[in-house]
Chain A
Amino acid sequence: DQQVKQNSPSLSVQEGRISILNCDYTNSMFDYFLWYKKYPAEGPTFLISISSIKDKNEDGRFTVFLNKSAKHLSLHIVPSQPGDSAVYFCAAPTPDSNYQLIWGAGTKLIIKP
């Protein structure tokens, strides 16, 4: 079973506050995870990634946390800005192919001014 789940279809956050987007996975063999951001009518854009040998990766306002025992990862955006309003996808390469990405269904983030 190789699934990546994003259980929140949408999230609304006040500008300046922290946005936390969650992702769960079922296959403990997944060893690399990516977050993509997608605006309407555009393709997904790579945001940040994390290897399973780490539990945290930070890039500017974006931090991804990985909890391997819980098979859970989260993306934190601090502070949230209006331009962060988009759909966020988490994805993982399948262990047997390492190129085929398995995607969550996405979370629509809305930043309120």
Chain B
Amino acid sequence: GAGVSQSPSNKVTEKGKDVELRCDPISGHTALYWYRQSLGQGLEFLIYFQGNSAPDKSGLPSDRFSAERTGGSVSTLTIQRTQQEDSAVYLCASSNRQGQQPQHFGDGTRLSIL
């Protein structure tokens, strides 16, 4: 399996709970991206990691959202105190180096907040 792997594929949780979404990028890819896709919309940029540089968090919609990337590989996106408007598909992508296109995507985590 050489592609980007995301888990879980689906997550249903109650409003107010915290959730953690995981992304395993393509081996050797130094750039990692998180996006969110709401129903009927294009993808919305959330955060970008490149190697050991400070991440670009400019797309995170609120301070309830955070992400980390350990050891330059696996990344987790955490949403605290979930709200119904957080319901969306969260997509992770990776690429070979900074700014290189195209980005290669995982299949996403479909998050539903009840």
Interface residues of A (CB under 8 A from B): 4, 6, 9, 32, 34, 36, 41-46, 49, 89, 91, 93, 97-106
Contacts and interface: CB of A to CB of B under 8 A. Distances in A.
Contact of B91 (A9, A44, A97, A98): A44
B106 A32 contact: no
B105 interface: yes
Interface residues of B, number: 29
B70 interface: no
A103 B31 CA distance: 19
Interface in B69-111: 91, 93, 95, 98-99, 101-108, 110
A89 B43 contact: yes
Interface string B43-73: 1110010100000101100000000000000
Interface centre among A4, A43, A44, A100 (most CB of B within 10 A): A43
A100 to B, nearest CB: 5
Given A46-B102, A99-B98, 20 more contacts: A9-B40, A32-B101, A34-B101, A43-B4, A43-B91, A43-B106, A43-B108, A44-B43, A44-B105, A91-B43, A93-B99, A97-B99, A99-B33, A99-B95, A99-B99, A100-B48, A102-B45, A103-B43, A105-B40, A105-B42
